[in-house]
Amino acid sequence: MVQNRWFLFVLMLLAFTGIAQTTGIVNGNLKMEVDGMMKVRLSSTFKDAKPLMDGFVASEKLVMPLAEISDFKVMDVSEGSIQGDLKGKQWVFTGVYQKNGIHIEKRLTVKEYDGFPDLLSTQVSYVNKLERAIFVEKWVNNAYKILSQGDAPAFWAFQGSSTDAREDWIKPLQSPYFQQNYLGQNMTDYGGGIPVTDLWRKDVGIAVGHLAMVPKLVSLPTEVDSMGTYGEIGVSKKLEDRTVLEANGTLETEETFVMVHQGDYYNALSEYSNLMQAKGITMPEREDAAFESIWCAWGYERKFTADEVIGTLPKVKELGIKWAVLDDGFQIAEGDWNADPKKFPRGNIEITEMVDKIHEHGLKAKVWWTPLAADPGSKALVENPDMRIFQKDGSPEFITWWDAYYLSPANPKTIQYTEGIIDLFMNEYGFDAFKMDGQHMNGVLPDYNQDLELDYPEESVEKLPDFFQMIYDQSRKIKPHAVIENCPCGTCMSYFNMASMNQAVSSDPLSSWQIRHKGKTYKALIPQTAYYGDHVELSDNGNDFASSFGIGAVLGTKFTWPNDNPDASDSFLLTPEKEKVWKKWFSLYDQKMLSKEKYLGSLYDIGYDKPETHVIEKEGNLYYAFYADDFKGTISLKGLEASGKYTVTDYFNEVDMGTVSGKDPKLDVAFKQFLLIEVSPKGKKK
């Protein structure tokens, strides 16, 4: 228990030039040592954990045009308590750098927060002690060189940034490897993300990130050297146009953190989100309607007809699906959300009538929408051309996917315009929910519109979550059980937007693997929020319901019936053969409803445990989902009571697999693609 409390210890180390002081801080299983030059070494006290680092590094430093300032001689160390809602302790290290005509004072503040073992936060301020200004290019925090253990891969990593490659959020890292993980706009349309990077080995993992309450334009680079000896992580901010640090001026970094954990990245993300919520971020409560199954008209694509959508509803109801979604193609343009007269000659009333038909079939109605996008020449920009983002040269920020301009979330006119769209969708059309769509929603460029009188251009970046919170609040005011889905097409979703939705989604997954690991990510960060696996047609082979089912995701489909739209790019026709499969999965989904239950993400390491395994607990039973292309061997059922006896059932195939002892819960199995089993205490009535 002693190691779970903070304490300060001082080791006096002899040196040639005198006596240097090393200060060690321990919280839980994380130990941080700070030497006399304010360099840092981390270690972990987890059982069986091997060394994390083989020496001290300059983990917090300042980069100038011709110098990297990292050697700060420690002059003072003080310890104190943190008061307020989030209590704890803090240590302040004061050091100086004075050579080569530069004189800078550094104050490093290290904090522990009560109730968050294994984590330390850091914040640094640099004071220019010269009588003249200096240029600063970048600050760096929590930069560490982590030893690999010679395994292949050297590390697994979670990286929370986004690019148009739509890469896996977690993946094995082979040497050499580098990824910048910039959380601003990396390219047109793509940016934002989760401000955490995590490297983990079989024995221990380490995560870093920032603890600001709004998005920040920082990088969390990840690197593995060419020999595979080290993995490097950190948090940094490149300052625009060589920021001038005036004489006696102060530059302060964001509050950042380092955390150690065992198992995979799930544990780190869960702890990060819990801390952010303790700091004041409020996540939505669970909305039951968000867990109901979904049919989307996108199978007919943009050239759908109202008759096709309405004609499919009887089959949607027959399969037990609860939601019908009107997707892209009903509107005049992005930025003019009235009914397209070419498709709806009688105007908006025809969309209202379609929604009425959905409701008559006992279904709920959701509408596709891409907020903050407005086509050039659209009603929104004709009436308010200054709603758009202004880049430094006055040009707009393009959203190339929609051939649109990005509206500024910090502009009051954008807020007023968007409130009118919410009223149109919910009060006039009668929809019950939004499918907000587009990778551009994940991040935005700084806004240099001088008429807005922002305190600084990056306010547009920081106010993006407020914009989505406005949509959430206004929608729920009109319809208290409104479902708000945020689908940032293929991006690693901004953590700060998660507070203003009650349905996450795998968001155009490129594989079933993405459906599963995105699900594990969301369940770490927002376990109370529904996670939708997206259209099953986007999974492996277009029919992998098992990946959504086993991770605890809402099932969805975009089938067409009884015919395809001849102008669609592909066929999603619900054939009689497919219908049998679809009907079985949607029936099983309603029967089990695992998507509402507790996901036990700490039991298995998604990188190192084979086969890949996920577990959900419901009413004392454990539901295991195993995935592999072709597996034959022994599986271990983690999480059972050692003294218990359990019956095992392959519930998808309705096969009794016998009994296991909690003391040695192993089974020999063979399966292809997936195995779904239910484990119940022996003698328990089903």
Task: Report d(CA 627, CA 631) in Å as an integer.
Answer: 8
**536 phi and psi, to 5 degrees?**
-60, -25
- Collect contacts of 64-69 with beta carbons under 8 A, ≥24 apart: 64/102, 64/134, 64/135, 64/136, 64/137, 65/135, 65/137, 65/242, 67/100, 67/102, 69/97, 69/102, 69/104
Per-residue pLDDT tens digits for 285-321:
999 999 999 999 999 999 999 999 999 999 999 999 9
Nearest to 173 by CA among 207, 141, 201, 193: 201
Confidence of residue 373 (pLDDT cuts 50, 70, 90): very high
Task: Report d(CA 442, CA 605) in Å as an integer.
Answer: 28
Q: What is the pLDDT of residue 613?
A: 98
Helix (H) or strand (E) holding 145: strand 134-147
Task: Report d(CA 480, CA 490) in Å as an integer.
Answer: 29
Per-residue pLDDT tens digits for 520-529:
999 999 999 9
Q: What is the pLDDT of residue 685?
A: 62
Average pLDDT over residues 267-291: 98
Helix (H) or strand (E) holding 120: strand 119-128
Per-residue pLDDT tens digits for 334-366:
999 999 999 999 999 999 999 999 999 999 999
To which residue do tokens 């697994």 refer? 156
Name the DSSP class of 13.
E
Mean of per-residue pLDDT scores for the chain = 95
Confidence of residue 1 (pLDDT cuts 50, 70, 90): very low
Q: What is the pLDDT of residue 683?
A: 76
Task: Report d(CA 433, CA 290) in Å as an integer.
Answer: 9
Q: What is the pLDDT of residue 17?
A: 33
Per-residue pLDDT tens digits for 562-607:
999 999 999 999 999 999 999 999 999 999 999 999 999 999 999 9
Q: What is the pLDDT of residue 240?
A: 78
Average pLDDT over residues 496-507: 98
| Burial of residue 302 (number of CB atoms within 10 Å: 0-12, 13-18, 19+) | middle
Question: How does strand 119-128 pair with strand 250-252?
Answer: antiparallel
Per-residue pLDDT tens digits for 69-125:
999 999 999 999 999 889 999 999 999 999 988 999 999 999 999 999 999 999 999
Q: How many CA atoms lie within 13 A of 454 on its CB side?
A: 20
The pTM of this model reads: 0.95
| Burial of residue 463 (number of CB atoms within 10 Å: 0-12, 13-18, 19+) | buried
| Sign for the pseudo-dihedral over CA of 466, 471, 477, 481 | negative
**Direct distance between the N- and C-terminal alpha carbons of the chain, in angstroms, rounded to an integer:** 41
Q: What is the pLDDT of residue 686?
A: 56
Residue 53 reports pLDDT greater than 70: yes
Taking each helix axis from N to C end, the angle separating 266-279 and 512-525, rounded to the nearest 10 degrees, works out to 40
Task: Report d(CA 239, CA 465) in Å as an integer.
Answer: 23
Quick check: helix, strand or coil at residue 453?
Answer: coil
**284 phi and psi, to 5 degrees?**
-65, 155
For residue 138, CA distances in Å to 59, 64, 100, 236, 240 come to 13, 7, 19, 7, 9
Partners of 205 in beta bridges: 200, 261
Nearest to 536 by CA among 512, 516, 560: 512
Q: What is the pLDDT of residue 18?
A: 32
Q: What is the pLDDT of residue 9?
A: 38
Taking each helix axis from N to C end, the angle separating 412-423 and 459-478, rounded to the nearest 10 degrees, works out to 20
Q: What is the pLDDT of residue 684?
A: 73
Per-residue pLDDT tens digits for 516-559:
999 999 999 999 999 999 999 999 999 999 999 999 999 999 99
Nearest to 372 by CA among 503, 508, 470: 470
Q: What is the pLDDT of residue 5?
A: 39
Domains and CATH numbers, the chain: 2-279 (2.70.98.60), 289-371+413-446+460-599 (3.20.20.70), 619-681 (no CATH)
- Residue 11 corresponds to which amino acid? L
What are the counts of helices (DSSP H) followed by strands (DSSP E) for the chain?
9, 41
For residue 577, CA distances in Å to 191, 314, 362, 543, 593 come to 41, 18, 26, 12, 25
